[in-house]
Amino acid sequence: MVGEFASPPLISYKKGTTIGSKVSRSLVQKGDTQSNTFLGARNTGMYQCLNCIQCKYVIKGKTFVHPSTGETIQIRGYHICLSQYVVYAIVCPCGKIYVGETVQKVKSRISQHKSSIKSGNLALPLSRHFKEFGHTVDQLRFMVLETVPPLKRGGDRELRLKQREVWWINKLNSLHPHGLNRDYDLYLFL
């Protein structure tokens, strides 16, 4: 043994960093898990709650068909008129789309849209379009496109909701003149 060492040196080993050691198990998302009811697996798509006056305006189904392009989009999750933190689409009779978001129940937000259409509020693009083209409130149809769940690690759920609204506006090409949305903010992604 060398004279400089009073005791033998300690040797240690540290395992190298991998992507598996960086990602926690809770961040790895599994497929859409649908809660089951006593009747079986819950459907995906948009359905009526059968308990409100907005139900007759719901576009029911598992898919959303773009009225202009005919593109079919699968709807993930189970949505009803009582859903909150959602991105929704309103379709007018001439085939144009308005994409919006709300943190309140979607039936309340649709009721507000109907009220602005009835009052003829020209400051809002949806009610202005309905007034200019002679559409009635009874011709309005809507569908929830997506629900934003609570974020797993916290964070701003409303910011994520607004980001998803911008994504859907772009996906459905609902900006004026092709759709009824006037603009959207890209600063949400900074």
Q: What are the residue ranges spanned by the domains of the chain?
A: 44-189
- Average pLDDT value for residue range 33-41: 68
Question: Is pLDDT above 70 for 92?
Answer: yes
Alpha carbons 76 and 143: distance in angstroms, whole number: 12
pLDDT, position 128: 93
- Where helices occur in the chain by DSSP H, the ranges are 19-22, 106-119, 125-132, 157-172
The two three-digit tokens of residue 66, written as one number: 């773009």
**Residue pLDDT, tens place only, 150-189:** 998 888 999 999 999 999 999 999 998 999 999 887 777 7
Question: Is pLDDT above 70 for 29?
Answer: no
Residue 27: pLDDT band by 50, 70, 90 thresholds?
Answer: low
pLDDT, position 43: 84
Residue bearing tokens 């772009």: 170
Sequence letter at residue 128 = R
Neighbouring residues of 65: CB distance < 8 A, sequence distance ≥ 6: 71, 72, 73
pLDDT, position 184: 81
- Average pLDDT value for residue range 2-28: 73
Between 17 and 128, the higher pLDDT residue: 128
Residue bearing tokens 């009803």: 80
pLDDT, position 185: 79
Q: Which of 101-110, 125-134, 179-188 has the lowest mean pLDDT?
A: 179-188
The helix or strand, by DSSP H or E, that contains position 129, with its residue range, turns out to be helix 125-132
Question: Is pLDDT above 60 for 34?
Answer: no
Residue bearing tokens 């996906």: 171
The helix or strand, by DSSP H or E, that contains position 159, with its residue range, turns out to be helix 157-172
- Average pLDDT value for residue range 72-99: 95
Question: Is pLDDT above 80 for 9?
Answer: no
The b-or-e profile of 85-99 (16+ CB within 10 A means b, else e) is: bbbbbbbbeeebbbb
